[in-house]
Amino acid sequence: MPTPLSDALFERAKRLIPGGVNSPVRAFRGVGGTPFFTVRARGCRLYTVDDRELIDYVCTWGPALFGHNHPRIRAAIAAALEKGTSFGTPHPGEVPMAETLVELVPSLEMVRLCNSGTEATMSCVRLARGFTGRDKIIKFAGCYHGHADALLVKAGSGALTHGYPDSAGVPTATAADTIVLPFNDLAAVDAAFDKFSGQIAGIILEPYPANVGLILPDPGYLAALRERCTHAGTLLIFDEVMTGFRVAPGGVQEIAQVKPDLTALGKIIGGGLPVGAFGGRRDVMEKLAPLGPVYQAGTLSGNPLAVAAGLAALTLIKELKPYPALEAAGKKLAAALRDAARHKGVPLEVPQVGSMFALFFTDKPVRDYAGALKGDAAKFRQVFHAALDGGVYLPPSPYETCFISTVHDSAALDKTIEVLTGAIHAL
């Protein structure tokens, strides 16, 4: 569909911004074509410079649990703005934010705010190393933990979409202490602990890997990782930047009843503004400066606007208890897509949990990074563009997760099902 204003803006952007975008996956390289430019958003819809209205399943990559521009969140930001944008000192909002996070997330005994998910995961890794006195970290292929050097090895998200899961610019010496294993493979974990006995500071993972599509852990897998870490004196780190408050008030750890030693958070806790947080066991967190020797800092950490927006979002979670309705919406969409693929005779896996789902055009359940790569990316690209032409915006990559919000009402879901099933039937 023609998008002349977006096309013109993109041409201008490419002259001054690498690839024309400020985050790689937005460039549409994974699906082809030119990205559109959004001028406003409300509820479950985006509105483009070309005067198009799109039902949005990216939800700003997760944070828009209650849709875009929610009046309660907007009012909280406006009230905070009246007092100032940044103080460089502690401010009163930081305390109830910490109290709310500790109340809702099972593993948190102490928490520190920062500015992004990348900062949160990077700080968790540094803290694990400082606490244990060890250097090596285990991560899993396809799990994306932001763009810190030690973690940008066999990563998901845009790194995978653009074909560079190992980033240039990451020193070999830095990557040498990162052990990359296949997800859902306990034998590989056991082998790593045997080979590097007494050297592994932490295991970091997305408990539901959601930057490589959506992969669910095998039954008992997370609990088994907990047992092995406890036995080895290794810290277990859950990156719940994506899943925190998305699948349950306490994230995956609440659902799985598995407590990590450290947890990284972001997205929803900022209500759509830039934010991050990390926390966990008190004895570990007390190693952070100024109490301990592990340094971490940030000029805008605990920014009053982000804290106000995040507190509004978390308050809405406690008041509205949205998860049963989100689960029902997710199941409805996933079932319709599976049915359409079955009738067409197209192999399609649609992993779904709560408000998160993904499309893998493959005939086997995807359990790991290698399985995700076997999906038919060309079919995804065809469905993506057919959906976009029909007014439905999916993530512009076959290796990302779709999100539903509380304001994706029956009309939006029914239109989405009509458009996506039509796209699948046209394959």
Give the active site residues: 144, 239, 267
Any bridge partners for residue 393, and if so which?
A: 56
Contact status, residue 343 vs residue 332, Cβ threshold 8 Å: no
Tokens 């009309």 correspond to 411
Which uninterrupted H or E stretch holds 170?
none
* Residue 294 phi, psi dihedral angles, 5° rounding: -90, 115
Share in percent of the chain as helix, strand, coil (round to 5): 45, 15, 40
Q: Report the distance separating Cα 258 and Cα 250, nearest Å.
A: 11
Q: In what order do the strands lie in the sheet with 53-56?
A: 38-42, 45-48, 53-56, 392-393
Q: At what angle do helices 410-425 and 323-344 cross, to 10 degrees?
A: 20
The phi-psi region of residue 72 (left if phi > 0; otherwise alpha if psi is between -120 and 50; otherwise beta) is: alpha
- Give 96-159 as a DSSP string: HHHHHHHHHSTT-SEEEEES-HHHHHHHHHHHHHHHHT--EEEEETT----S-GGG-BS--HHH
Copy the structure tokens of residue 106.
Answer: 């099972």
Tokens 């890997």 correspond to 209
Contact status, residue 116 vs residue 146, Cβ threshold 8 Å: yes
Contact status, residue 62 vs residue 355, Cβ threshold 8 Å: no
Tokens 């009230």 correspond to 79
Q: Report the distance separating Cα 65 and Cα 245, nearest Å.
A: 9
Q: Report the distance separating Cα 136 and Cα 388, nearest Å.
A: 43
Q: Report the distance separating Cα 274 and Cα 268, nearest Å.
A: 10
Q: Report the distance separating Cα 426 and Cα 372, nearest Å.
A: 23
Cβ neighbours of residue 313 under 8 Å, at least 6 residues apart?
Answer: 63, 65, 66, 70, 73, 245, 268, 269, 270, 271
Cβ neighbours of residue 391 under 8 Å, at least 6 residues apart?
Answer: 52, 53, 54, 55, 415, 419
